[in-house]
């Protein structure tokens, strides 16, 4: 064993140039793969963070079917105890309740169809980052029961041709079937950076919305902010939603985002597969050359009584040395690069890219699980690439081999 | 000589009374178009909206002029008294007396529900004509006193439905049922007409029930309580000022 290990290493050193070239190919390939996986996972993670953190949350509790076809009548009837139960869990940073209704928002002669959302002025900023994207005016006040403030997106303000202090008319349908109509005063404008969000956003106070829509205590969404987006799936598996309600992790709330990430990751795996083919060819080529070169030597060793098993082992150790050392080097290189760029990030796009209501411009590579798994796969496949040359070495006919050499 | 004179008639008989069928089609389409229309009309209606979540009845006054102008004002319940809809041509406004505001209904909201009913804003606005906007064919194999007509919109007509089937009964024939098919060919809603009465000098079905088949448990019933036809209306009946006027 020890002899085979040493012999393997010696054989690699006999042709330093060839070994160096193969090693460099393996190392650079691994580094490229590991770094790009780290970068991709970083992009995914920040997309998920931004998309869930902005408004959606990492988990939501709703009436079944609400997500697929929202209806005024599909409600969470007792949000109070549910919010308390959520916030009692360590994974939950904060939770809040929301009411939603489609209707018309008008100013002067202009009317636009919109989704009016009633949010808790205190709890909402703890759950989502959208309230912090205020570009003018003030967030929804808690006190002042006489005023009916509304905070709207800058895009919606532009569509309505209004600014701070403007009076907006809302008309929709209340839960008892009656016509819901109310006047609101624009108290704040939100510029989220996403044109899609800003063109629709209209937020009023939860209590105002519940009174306007004759909903009582009922709400449509209970939204939870978790310590991380990764916590959503295990949380969904362990949190018991009250009967008649269901808990959805962000993957179910932002299926488009989840789907894009999955398919992008699958594309990365194709890159990985191509990389593996190159590795196998490179290592096999190097070892085959090495075995051909030493046909005479191997024949002599066999004639002197070296068991075939040891010849196989020697050759396999040669591929193992080559693969493990090169991938380790490549991984170290990539990890160093990831660590160096982890905080500063890489500017990916000239303009912020919009993605499921979230926008991003700078990518921050991370040390994802894949960063360890991929080099391991390359090292193992590279080692196994020595099997064929090893098998050849093992079944050499000593006489023919020595004559040939 | 005599035989030759009879030949066209014989041909006509063989072809299945095309002239007679055309007359009947035209007459029925005209009935459908003229049923609830007049130079002017004024009346009171009750609209009952049934959904799985609530059931409510609105009483409202209705005034129309030709196909273009309509003013509907809610009389009851008290909480919603004065909420009004004005339609002029293809434009539409709602007045909300509680907040004293008029809202124009944007074109994008035309398929939205009108006053929480199963009628869309578009149903109110649309001045479509069965005679002008549709190609009519008589459904085959039906008794002459209970015919059905299949209406397919003409290519240029701005119609939301892919097909409408209208069935008639009685003499003179009045509609009993309209089936609306959506662009996917699904039967999307059914409108039935009943309670034929003499109202304002016309014999009309006074109760219309609209069932949206794709929304289980929903139904809107419209009943004519009082109706006057072709009486002169006060000037400016169909104006923004009339829309805002106190009831």
State pLDDT tens for residues A285-327.
Answer: 877 787 778 788 888 888 888 888 888 888 888 888 888 999 9
Considering only CA atoms, which of A151, A165, A379, A373 is closest in space to residue A269? A373
Chain B 105-164, residues with CB within 8 Å of chain A CB atoms:
105-106, 108-109, 112-113, 115-116
Write down the pLDDT at residue A353: 67
**What does the block give as tokens for A404?**
């040939």
Write down the pLDDT at residue A249: 94
**What does the block give as tokens for A293?**
């070169």
Band of pLDDT at residue A20, cut at 50, 70 and 90: confident
Write down the pLDDT at residue B155: 84
Chain B residues within an 8 Å CB radius of A104: 103, 105-106, 109
Give how far B101 is from chain A: nearest CA, Å.
Answer: 7
Buried b (16+ CB within 10 A) or exposed e, A131-168: bebbeebebbeeeeeeebbbbbbbbbbebbebeeebbb
What does the angle CA B51 – CA B55 – CA B58 come to, to the nearest 5 degrees? Answer: 120
Q: State pLDDT tens for residues A242-296.
A: 899 999 999 999 988 888 888 888 888 888 788 778 877 877 787 778 777 878 8
Q: Count of A–B CB contacts within 8 Å?
A: 60
Band of pLDDT at residue B13, cut at 50, 70 and 90: very low
Asked if B101's CB is within 8 angstroms of A183's CB, the reply is: yes
Asked if B80's CB is within 8 angstroms of A178's CB, the reply is: yes
Q: Nearest chain A Cα to B56, which residue?
A: A177
Write down the pLDDT at residue A330: 92
Chain B 33-52, residues with CB within 8 Å of chain A CB atoms:
49, 51-52
Q: Among B54, B77, B99, whose Cβ lies nearest the Cβ of A183?
A: B99
DSSP character string of A237-297: HH--PPTT-EEEEHHHHSHHHHHHHHHHHHHHHHHHHHHHHHHHHHHHHHHHHHHHHTHHH
Chain B residues within an 8 Å CB radius of A109: 104
Check whether B6 has a pLDDT greater than 70.
no
Distance, first Cα to last Cα, chain A = 27
Asked if B99's CB is within 8 angstroms of A112's CB, the reply is: no
Check whether B7 has a pLDDT greater than 70.
no
Chain B residues within an 8 Å CB radius of A73: 52-53
Per-residue pLDDT averaged across A323-349, rounded?
88
Q: Which homologous superfamily is B15-244 in? A: Lipoprotein localisation LolA/LolB/LppX (2.50.20.10)
Write down the pLDDT at residue B11: 43
Domain residue ranges in chain B: 15-244
Write down the pLDDT at residue B27: 83
Kindly list the distances between the CA atom of residue B194 and the CA atoms of A340, A354, B24, B81, B210, in Å, as whole numbers in the listed order. 79, 55, 22, 28, 12
Asked if B105's CB is within 8 angstroms of A104's CB, the reply is: yes
DSSP character string of B48-115: EEE-SS-EEEEEEEEEEETTTEEEEEEEESGGGTT-EEEEETTEEEEEETTTTEEEEPPGGGTTSBST
Query: What stretch of H or E contains A152?
Result: strand A149-153
Asked if B106's CB is within 8 angstroms of A113's CB, the reply is: yes
Q: Nearest chain A Cα to B81, which residue?
A: A179
| B188 shares contact with chain A (CB less than 8 Å) | no
- Overall size of chain B counted in residues: 247
Of all residues in chain B, the percent with pLDDT exceeding 90 is: 25
Band of pLDDT at residue A395, cut at 50, 70 and 90: confident
Check whether A7 has a pLDDT greater than 80.
no
Per-residue pLDDT averaged across B63-82, rounded?
88
A152-156, A205-209, B200-204: the lowest-pLDDT one: B200-204
Give how far B48 is from chain A: nearest CA, Å.
Answer: 11
Task: State how far the Cα of B57 lies from the Cα of B74, in Å rounded to an integer.
Answer: 11
Check whether A210 has a pLDDT greater than 50.
yes
Q: A54: which DSSP letter?
A: I
Band of pLDDT at residue A404, cut at 50, 70 and 90: low
Asked if B54's CB is within 8 angstroms of A176's CB, the reply is: yes
Here the ipTM equals 0.75
Asked if B103's CB is within 8 angstroms of A106's CB, the reply is: yes
Check whether A95 has a pLDDT greater than 70.
yes
Task: State how far the Cα of B38 lies from the Cα of A401, in Å rounded to an integer.
Answer: 110
Q: Nearest chain A Cα to B51, which residue?
A: A177
Mean of pLDDT over chain B: 83
Considering only CA atoms, which of A50, A34, A44, A57 is closest in space to residue A192? A50
Instruction: Write down the number of H helices and E strands in chain A.
Output: 15, 14
Per-residue pLDDT averaged across B84-97, rounded?
88
Q: What are phi and psi of A97, to 5 degrees?
A: -115, 150
What does the angle CA A254 – CA A352 – CA A345 come to, to the nearest 5 degrees? Answer: 95
Write down the pLDDT at residue B144: 73
Q: State pLDDT tens for residues B109-161.
A: 777 788 888 888 877 766 667 877 888 888 887 777 788 889 888 887 777 78
- Best residue in B56, B57, B78, B96 for a mutation probing chain A (most A CBs within 10 Å): B96
Kindly list the distances between the CA atom of residue B43 and the CA atoms of A46, A398, B64, in Å, as whole numbers in the listed order. 62, 113, 9
**What does the block give as tokens for B186?**
């699904």
Per-residue pLDDT averaged across A185-211, rounded?
91
- Best residue in A111, A112, A174 for a mutation probing chain B (most B CBs within 10 Å): A111
Q: State pLDDT tens for residues A157-195.
A: 999 999 999 999 999 889 888 889 999 999 999 998 888
Band of pLDDT at residue B16, cut at 50, 70 and 90: very low
Are A45 and A342 in contact, with CB atoms under 8 Å apart? no
């Amino acid at each position: 064993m020890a002899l085979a290990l040493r012999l393997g290493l010696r054989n690699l050193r006999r042709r330093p140039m060839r070994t160096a070239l193969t090693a460099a190919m393996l190392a650079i390939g691994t580094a490229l793969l590991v770094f790009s996986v780290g970068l991709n996972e970083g992009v995914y993670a920040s997309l998920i963070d931004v998309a869930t953190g902005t408004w959606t949350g990492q988990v939501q509790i709703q009436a079944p079917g609400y997500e697929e076809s929202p209806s005024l009548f599909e409600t969470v009837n007792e949000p109070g105890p549910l919010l308390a139960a959520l916030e009692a869990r360590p994974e939950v940073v904060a939770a809040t309740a929301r009411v939603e209704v489609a209707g018309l928002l008008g100013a002067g002669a202009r009317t636009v169809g919109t989704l009016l959302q009633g949010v808790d002025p205190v709890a909402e900023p703890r759950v989502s980052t959208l309230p912090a994207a205020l570009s003018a005016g003030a967030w929804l006040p808690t006190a002042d029961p006489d005023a009916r403030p509304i905070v709207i997106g800058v895009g919606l303000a532009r569509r309505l041709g209004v600014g701070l202090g403007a009076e907006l008319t809302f008309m929709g349908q209340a839960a008892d079937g009656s016509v819901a109509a109310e006047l609101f005063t624009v108290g704040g404008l939100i510029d989220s950076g996403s044109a899609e969000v800003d063109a629709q956003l209209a937020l009023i106070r939860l209590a105002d919305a519940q009174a306007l829509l004759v909903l009582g205590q009922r709400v449509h969404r209970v939204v939870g902010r978790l310590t991380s987006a990764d916590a959503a799936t295990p949380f969904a598996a362990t949190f018991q939603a009250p009967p008649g309600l269901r808990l959805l992790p962000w993957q179910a709330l932002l299926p488009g985002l989840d789907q894009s990430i999955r398919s992008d990751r699958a594309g990365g795996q194709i890159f990985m597969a191509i990389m593996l083919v190159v590795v196998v060819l490179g290592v096999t080529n190097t070892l085959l050359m090495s075995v051909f070169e030493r046909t005479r030597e191997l024949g002599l060793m066999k004639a002197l009584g070296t068991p075939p098993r040891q010849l196989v082992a020697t050759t396999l150790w040669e591929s193992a040395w080559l693969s493990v050392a090169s991938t380790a080097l490549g991984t170290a290189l990539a990890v160093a690069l990831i660590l160096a760029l982890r905080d500063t990030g890489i500017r990916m796009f000239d303009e912020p890219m919009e993605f499921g209501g979230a926008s991003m411009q700078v990518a921050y590579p991370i040390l994802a699980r894949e960063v360890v798994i991929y080099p391991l796969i390359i090292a193992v496949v590279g080692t196994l690439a020595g099997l064929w040359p090893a098998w050849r070495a093992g079944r050499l006919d000593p006489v023919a081999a020595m004559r040939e050499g | 000589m005599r035989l030759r004179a009879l030949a066209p008639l014989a041909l006509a008989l063989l072809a299945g009374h095309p002239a007679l069928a055309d007359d009947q089609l035209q007459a029925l389409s005209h009935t459908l178009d003229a049923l609830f229309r007049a130079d002017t009309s004024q009346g009171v209606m009750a609209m009952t909206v049934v959904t799985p979540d609530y059931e409510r009845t609105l009483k409202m006054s209705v005034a129309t002029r030709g196909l273009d102008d309509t003013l509907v004002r809610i009389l009851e319940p008290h909480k919603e008294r004065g909420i009004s809809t004005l339609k002029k041509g293809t434009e539409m406004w709602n007045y909300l007396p509680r907040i004293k505001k008029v809202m124009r209904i944007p074109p994008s909201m035309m398929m939205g529900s009108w006053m929480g009913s199963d009628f869309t804003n578009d149903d109110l606005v649309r001045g479509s004509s069965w005679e002008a906007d549709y190609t009519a064919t008589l459904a085959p194999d039906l008794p002459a006193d209970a015919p059905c007509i299949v209406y397919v919109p003409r290519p240029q007509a701005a119609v939301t439905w892919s097909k409408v089937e209208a069935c008639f009964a009685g003499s003179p024939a009045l509609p009993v049922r309209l089936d609306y098919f959506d662009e996917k060919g699904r039967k999307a809603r059914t409108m039935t007409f009943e309670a034929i009465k003499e109202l304002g000098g016309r014999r009309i079905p006074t109760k219309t029930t609209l069932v949206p088949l794709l929304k289980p448990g929903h139904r809107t019933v419209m009943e004519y309580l009082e109706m006057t036809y072709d009486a002169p209306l006060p000037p400016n009946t169909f104006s923004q000022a009339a829309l805002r006027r106190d009831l």
